[in-house]
Homo-oligomer: A and B are copies of this chain.
């Protein structure tokens, strides 16, 4: 009889606790910033404190860095959709073939016109996850796997995974239970509630009007703040019902239009910062406040100890003038160039990870990691094993670096591939380029110039001196490795307009298609 009674109590407890057994799964927040550069923060990611670190105020990034691990050699791709598709799939951009940013309009090429090359037929319609759609990569998206494992998955902010007229225009088709303000657009028409974020009846509809958020129309609530409020609301339910959540809070900030966040603008102007750059700094600080508000919420709800926060940006800081102020291509100094480029300024990212119980407070990892790595890392964090995916996952887990920040694995090679043209500038690796980094070595293949550049980033972070001529063996070795990896990814090469033939691989060989 006693045993029966114990049995009854035990069952009652199990029923009462509901999903207690799944509560052990940590909540996971990915805080994705748009177009934020490596130096756009008061957290020093280079050696020592730079002038830009002094300019920007990001106290909540400092707070997160103090609680977790700072990655000083973290990378994304050079423009946004390729990064976002890699994040969602774990695939190298060379493999998923969404190598350039996607237009909100279906079947629309976004490549800048070129005399010599045509871009290959890349996946300009982004991703698909249900039935395959022309010019998309068909893959199993990360949030789908998390949802299937019992996570409440919420998308808040910029999506940009595919054009209108395809399922990817709605993150709900990619495994997110809830979608707020995400669609096919890559930047906001307006950051201002007073301007309804670009939705103004009677005035021409702008392609980049931010969807949803109707409750903030006419208010003085800046877009960054509205998304923060919505993100906090979005996770209220899973917190209340004790269900683990995955929150992808993907700010439209700090992408153009560079509109001042009125909460923070004045102090930068008062300090004499260039008028455009002051607006940019206010976008940064508004984004940082969002991070702080989310962290505060986790503490108030007493779930900070079971919530992983991962902070990253989707490509390097924009360095074109205009729309940026100041001198062109200097905004990511000491890094070279900026968004769109395979030089460090275009691909190196501020990255922070806090995993309570795993990461060490204030630790720093110098390990080379890439946005591709988030896919396997997050699955492992969530305790999801033996998943079946449509795609081959190229990323590798960086959990070893979270457990041991001193770990340095120089065998790891990271590849970038951009068989596209971003802008008029051909000189800053903004077009038709591939690159590889292994250890401190980096090789860039400039296809139009038929040139290989070699840098040792430990000695030359700013990629000022091409040392390929003095290190022919290393250059050759990396060119071979890069070629081999690109081939294994089934990478697409640009096509010569004159001959219809593809550009040669970095090692000089050619695969005639």
Contacts and interface: CB of A to CB of B under 8 A. Distances in A.
A202 interface: yes
A328 to B, nearest CB: 30
A439 interface: no
A22 to B, nearest CB: 9
Chain copies in complex: 2
A22 B19 CA distance: 12
A203 B11 CA distance: 62
Contact of A184 (B183, B200, B214): B214
Contacts of A200: 205
A155 to B, nearest CB: 12
A169 interface: yes
Interface string A308-319: 000000000000
Contact of A21 (B15, B204, B205, B215): B15
Interface string A4-35: 00010011001100110100000000000000
A364 B207 CA distance: 51
Contacts of A177: 177-178, 237
Given A15-B21, A21-B15, A233-B172, A218 B106 contact: yes
Contacts of A164: 196, 214-215, 217-218
B201 A165 contact: no
A84 B455 CA distance: 66
A170 interface: yes
Nearest to A184: B214
A366 interface: no
Contacts of A203: 204-205
Contacts of A207: 201-202
A341 B168 CA distance: 44
Contacts of A241: 150
Nearest to A170: B215
Contact of A11 (B11, B167, B178, B202): B11
A197 to B, nearest CB: 11
Contact of A15 (B14, B204, B213, B214): B14
A91 to B, nearest CB: 22
Given A169-B214, A172-B178, A201-B206, 19 more contacts: A11-B11, A11-B14, A18-B19, A164-B196, A165-B214, A165-B216, A165-B217, A167-B215, A168-B215, A169-B217, A170-B214, A170-B215, A173-B215, A177-B237, A178-B178, A201-B207, A202-B207, A204-B204, A211-B212
Interface of A: 3, 7, 10-11, 14-15, 18-19, 21, 106, 147, 150, 164-170, 172-173, 177-178, 180, 183-184, 196, 199-207, 209, 211-219, 233, 237, 241
15 contacts: A3-B3, A18-B19, A164-B214, A164-B217, A165-B215, A165-B216, A165-B218, A167-B215, A172-B233, A173-B233, A177-B178, A199-B205, A201-B204, A202-B207, A212-B212
